[in-house]
C-alpha cells in the first residue's frame, strides 16, 4: 500500500467527524497527549505524515520538511511551494537557529508600482494577479534547513506529498468551501484555466488530484533546490509571468536564497521566549508586548477582568504603532531592535497606559528612543530526541494571488501586498506601513509571522504559532498568556476566544462569545470601540507537561490536528 493510501485509510473517519467547538465554549479542555513526539498542523494528513517520518527515524527537521510539502498539497490555501515563511529550530542541546525564507520583491519591482498617475493606490493591484507575486522562498528554505540539520534522504521526505498529489485525497467540508469560494477568481486571474480546481460545486468527501503539482514535486525530489529555481519549473513560472505581465524572472529565481538570522530572545517571569526577528515583526512585537504587560498583575486580575483586557489592548496599540514606523527588511533599513526591546523603554510605555480610559489611536505615535480571509499556516513539532521546530509559512491571502502556474500546478503568493504600496496606506489586513517597508527591488516585505518557542527554567516548555495576518502577533501573545498567567491547558488556551487590536483602525476586534454584554458595556465605558468578527487565527501548539509528556493544542477553528506517538 502506498504511503498516501495508508494515511488516507487512517484519517478518513477523522476528516468527516472533526467538529470545531463553539467559540462560546471556554472549558479548559486537555489536548491530545503523546509520550515521545508530536506534530500539530493545519491538516490531519500532514500531521500524520510528520509522525510517520519521525517513526522512521527522522528528526524534527525531517518532519518539518515532510509536513511543509504535504501542506502544499492538502492545504493549498496557505501550504505552499509558491510562498515563503520563517522557521525557528531548537536543538536538544538548547541551541537556537532561525531561518528566513520569506519571499523577495522581483528585481523589476519599484516603489510606485501599485499607484495610479495621481499617486493613489490602485485597488487590489497588489492582491490579485501576476504582479502581486514575490519571488518564492519555500523550496529554498526547506532545502537549506534539511541540508544543515536533516537526517533522512530528501527524496524520502517528499514522496508522501508526491503520492498525495498524484493519487488524490479526500476534501473536508472546509476545503470544499474554500475551493467553491475562489471559483470565479480562478477564472478571472489565470491565463491557463486550472480546470482540475473548478467544479460547479465541491463537497466534503470529493477526491481531488494535483497531477501537474505531482510532476513539480518529483522534479524537486530529484534535483533538490534546482528542481524549482532552475530547469523546467523555473521556465514554467517565467512563462506564466510573461502571459500575465508579472515581474519574476529566471534571474530572480536563480538568485533567491534564504537567510539564517539571529532570533529574538527575551525573558518574561521565569520563561525565556525565542521568536523570529526582522523582516518578521513577530519577535520584536511580542517582546514588546510581554515587556509592557509584565507591569500589570494579570494573574491576580484574571482572564476575564476588564482591567486585564484593557491593559492587553493598550499594550497592543503601542506595539503596532512601533511596528508601523520602525520595522522592515534588515538588509535594507536599520532597525532599532535593541531599543524597541529595552526594558526601560517598555516600562515607560506601560506607565503611559491609563487603566481608567482608552487612548485614542490617533494620539499614539511610535516611541522615541533615548540611547498579515487571512491565510497563513503554522506547524509545531517536537521529536523523540528533544528537538523542536516552530514554522509559519504563507501565500499571504487565501490561495495567494489566485494564479496557478500553468503546467506546474501550484499557487503563487500575493506577498507584494505586505509592502507599503504607499507609506501610510493600509494593506489588505488594515495594517499601516511606513518608509521602512516601502517597495524596493530584491527587498523582503515585512511580515507578522511569529513562530515561537518557550522555555521554562531552561527546559523546553512550549512550541507555538498561528496564521492570521495582522492577528498572528496578538494570537500568539494571548495563547502564551493563557497558559502562563491563567493556567489553561494547551488545548484550552488554543480554544479560548481571542480579541485583537492593531493600533489602526482604532477598534477591538473579537470573536463571538469573547465578551458578554456586561463586558462590552464596561469596555465601551472606557472609550473602546468594538466589533465582532469571524475566527481569529488557527493556533497549533505543543506543551511539555510536568511529566515530560506532550500535549497538543490543535485549533478547532479549522481542520487542524495533533498526531503523535
Residue matched to cell numbers 528528526: 59
First to last CA, the chain: 22
pLDDT of residue 469: 85
Q: Where are the domains of the chain?
A: 3-260+375-437
Residue of 97, 87, 91 lying closest to 142 (CA atoms)? 87
299 close to 413: Cβ distance less than 8 angstroms:
no
Helices 343-351/306-326 angle, 10° precision = 130
List, edge to edge, every strand of the sheet that includes 271-275. Answer: 32-34, 550-554, 540-544, 459-464, 452-456, 271-275, 264-268
pLDDT in tens, the chain (565 residues): 355 454 444 443 333 333 434 445 568 999 999 999 999 999 999 999 999 999 999 999 999 999 999 999 999 999 999 999 999 999 999 999 999 999 999 999 999 999 999 988 898 899 999 999 999 999 999 999 999 999 999 999 999 999 999 999 999 999 999 999 999 999 999 999 999 999 999 999 999 999 999 999 999 999 999 999 999 999 999 999 999 999 999 999 999 999 999 999 999 999 999 999 999 999 999 999 999 999 999 999 999 999 999 999 999 999 999 998 899 999 999 999 999 999 999 999 999 999 999 888 777 666 554 434 457 899 999 999 999 999 999 999 999 999 999 999 999 999 999 898 776 666 554 555 567 888 999 999 999 999 999 999 999 999 999 999 889 999 999 999 999 999 999 999 999 999 999 998 899 999 999 999 999 999 999 999 999 998 999 999 999 999 999 999 999 999 999 999 9
pLDDT of residue 423: 64
pTM of the model: 0.92
Helices 306-326/282-293 angle, 10° precision = 140
Among residues 216, 376, 432, 452, the one annotated as catalytic is 376
Residue of 237, 222, 177 lying closest to 201 (CA atoms)? 177
Instruction: Give me 322's grid cell.
Output: 512601533
Answer yes or no: 432 catalytic. Answer: no
pLDDT of residue 1: 39
pLDDT of residue 45: 98
Amino acid at each position: 500500500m502506498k504511503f498516501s493510501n495508508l494515511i488516507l485509510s487512517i484519517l478518513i473517519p477523522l476528516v468527516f467527524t472533526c467538529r470545531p467547538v463553539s467559540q462560546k465554549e471556554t472549558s479548559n479542555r486537555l489536548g491530545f497527549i503523546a509520550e515521545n513526539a508530536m506534530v500539530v498542523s493545519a491538516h490531519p494528513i500532514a500531521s500524520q505524515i510528520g509522525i510517520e517520518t519521525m517513526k522512521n527515524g527522522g528528526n524534527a527537521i525531517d518532519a518539518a520538511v515532510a509536513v511543509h510539502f504535504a501542506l502544499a498539497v492538502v492545504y493549498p490555501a496557505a501550504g505552499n511551494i509558491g510562498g515563503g515563511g520563517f522557521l525557528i529550530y531548537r536543538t536538544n542541546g538548547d541551541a537556537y537557529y532561525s531561518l528566513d525564507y520569506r519571499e523577495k520583491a522581483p528585481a523589476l519591482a519599484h516603489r510606485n508600482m501599485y499607484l495610479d498617475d495621481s499617486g493613489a493606490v490602485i485597488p487590489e493591484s497588489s492582491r490579485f494577479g501576476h504582479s502581486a507575486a514575490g519571488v518564492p522562498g519555500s523550496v529554498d528554505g526547506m532545502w537549506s534547513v534539511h541540508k544543515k540539520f536533516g537526517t533522512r534522504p530528501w527524496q524520502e521526505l517528499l514522496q508522501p506529498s508526491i503520492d498525495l498529489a498524484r493519487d488524490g485525497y479526500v476534501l473536508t467540508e472546509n476545503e470544499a468551501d474554500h475551493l467553491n469560494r475562489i471559483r470565479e477568481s480562478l477564472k478571472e486571474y489565470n491565463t491557463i484555466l486550472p480546470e482540475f480546481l473548478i467544479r460547479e460545486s465541491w463537497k466534503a468527501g470529493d477526491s481531488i488530484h494535483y497531477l501537474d503539482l505531482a510532476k513539480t514535486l518529483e522534479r524537486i525530489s530529484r534535483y533538490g533546490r534546482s528542481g524549482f529555481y532552475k530547469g523546467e519549473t523555473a521556465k514554467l513560472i517565467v512563462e506564466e509571468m510573461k502571459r500575465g505581465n508579472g515581474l519574476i524572472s529566471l534571474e530572480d529565481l536563480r538568485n533567491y536564497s534564504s537567510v539564517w538570522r539571529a532570533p529574538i530572545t527575551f525573558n518574561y517571569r521565569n520563561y525565556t521566549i525565542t521568536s523570529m526577528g526582522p523582516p518578521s515583526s513577530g519577535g520584536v512585537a511580542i517582546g514588546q508586548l510581554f515587556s509592557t504587560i509584565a507591569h500589570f498583575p494579570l494573574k491576580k486580575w484574571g482572564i476575564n477582568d476588564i482591567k486585564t483586557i484593557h491593559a492587553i489592548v493598550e499594550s497592543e496599540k503601542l506595539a503596532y504603532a512601533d511596528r508601523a514606523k520602525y520595522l522592515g527588511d534588515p538588509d535594507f533599513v536599520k532597525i532599532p531592535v535593541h531599543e524597541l526591546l529595552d526594558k526601560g523603554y517598555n516600562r515607560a510605555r506601560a506607565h503611559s497606559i491609563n487603566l481608567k480610559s482608552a487612548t485614542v489611536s490617533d494620539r499614539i505615535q511610535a516611541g522615541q528612543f533615548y540611547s498579515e480571509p487571512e491565510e497563513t499556516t503554522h506547524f509545531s513539532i517536537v521529536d523523540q530526541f528533544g528537538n523542536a521546530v516552530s514554522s509559519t509559512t504563507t501565500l499571504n491571502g487565501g490561495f495567494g494571488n489566485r494564479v496557478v502556474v500553468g503546467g506546474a500546478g501550484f499557487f503563487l503568493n500575493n506577498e507584494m501586498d505586505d509592502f507599503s504600496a504607499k507609506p501610510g496606506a493600509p494593506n489588505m489586513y488594515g495594517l499601516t506601513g511606513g518608509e521602512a517597508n516601502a517597495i524596493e527591488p530584491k527587498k523582503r516585505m515585512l511580515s507578522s509571522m511569529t513562530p515561537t518557542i518557550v522555555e521554562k527554567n531552561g527546559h523546553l516548555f512550549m512550541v507555538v504559532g498561528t496564521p492570521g495576518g495582522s492577528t498572528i502577533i496578538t494570537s500568539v501573545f494571548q495563547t502564551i498568556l493563557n497558559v502562563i498567567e491563567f493556567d489553561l491547558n494547551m488545548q484550552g488556551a488554543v480554544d479560548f476566544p481571542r480579541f485583537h487590536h492593531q493600533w489602526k483602525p482604532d477598534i477591538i476586534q473579537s470573536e463571538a462569545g469573547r465578551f458578554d454584554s456586561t463586558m462590552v458595556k464596561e469596555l465601551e465605558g472606557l472609550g473602546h470601540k468594538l466589533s465582532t468578527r469571524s475566527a481569529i487565527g488557527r493556533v497549533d501548539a505543543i506543551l511539555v507537561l510536568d511529566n515530560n509528556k506532550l500535549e497538543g493544542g490543535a485549533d478547532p477553528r479549522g481542520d487542524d490536528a495533533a498526531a503523535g506517538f
